[in-house]
Amino acid sequence: MKLNKTVLITGANRGIGRAIACRLASEGYDLALHCRSNIGELESVAQSIEKEFGIKASLLQFDVSDRVGTKAALEKYLSEFGAPYGVVCNAGVTADNSFPAMLGEEWDGVINTNLGSFYNVLHPLVMPMVSSRKPGRIVTMSSVSGVMGNRGQVNYSASKAGVIGATKALALELAKRNITVNCVAPGLIETDMVSEDVVENALKVIPAQRMGKPEEVAATVSFLLSEGAAYITRQVISVNGGMI
Ligand code: NDP
């Protein structure tokens, strides 16, 4: 069943973003899928979605930490397709190090990608969404690390805590416009982002005693995008097996 609603997902070529794309396609959303570098991988996600669900996604490629390039790519998208119904700000990176050893580039890279992208991606999209005068949805991706802090991730925790603050503030600004803004905070999820050496220790603090699956994060994002979630805004939903 086609919904005639488009959702733009950043970082959709792999990991959690790819799982979100597949889940939303299975529910009949039209999709705009984004990646930074691996356009071949993104094309194969789009092909499998088209084959399985008959959804032809449009593809976007830009670095979310590059404000000028992101704006240009999104304005081009908007001029062709108009404002999307939903945006999922999923793209993110880590550059872990103990704080005394942390390089300036590790701080800047993570802050500019994970938090800078909130402005870079959403600023060009929000006014067109408001002007469309239709209900809308924004979902951002934080982390358990942004909720409670995590050693070796001072940069990442700061960026993901910043995403929570920005999400809650934007939710206040857009609530009257029927656009909800919520944040998903995953725990430890099986993707390329998680290196094997952290898993053993991390499992000790996960009551569910396992890592989460990208599909389990995608299910929460899908719920927040649904019509049934129209009265949920300014919230942080954790998907973490009971970690906090
Ligand atoms: P992956 O490393 O598997 O994928 C990261 C995605 O982000 C890729 O699509 C990548 O694109 C994209 N990306 C990274 N940097 C940029 C950039 N500068 N510009 C544009 N795109 C970029 O990560 P996950 O799927 O695990 O993570 C997705 C989100 O979930 C992130 O925000 C992450 O912080 C968050 N998260 C993940 C957790 C986990 O345990 N996995 C836990 C908590 C939160 P490309 O491949 O082209 O580089």
Q: Ligand 1 centroid to 114 CA: how many Å?
A: 9
Predicted confidence (pLDDT) per residue in 62-78, tens digit: 999 999 999 999 999 99
- Predicted confidence band of residue 206 (pLDDT cuts 50, 70, 90): very high
Which ligand 1 atom lies nearest to the CA of residue 37? 47
Best residue for ligand 1 mutational test, from 23, 44, 59, 93 (most atoms within 8 Å of Cβ)? 93
This prediction's pTM: 0.99
Predicted confidence (pLDDT) per residue in 114-154, tens digit: 999 999 999 999 999 999 999 999 999 999 999 999 999 99
In 3-state terms, what secondary structure has residue 47? helix
Tokens of 77: 């998208």
Identify the DSSP state of 211. P
The torsion angles phi and psi of 105, rounded to 5 degrees, stand at -65, -30
Ligand 1 in contact with 116 (CB < 6 A)? no
Out of 29, 77, 156, 231, which one is annotated catalytic? 156
231 has catalytic annotation: no
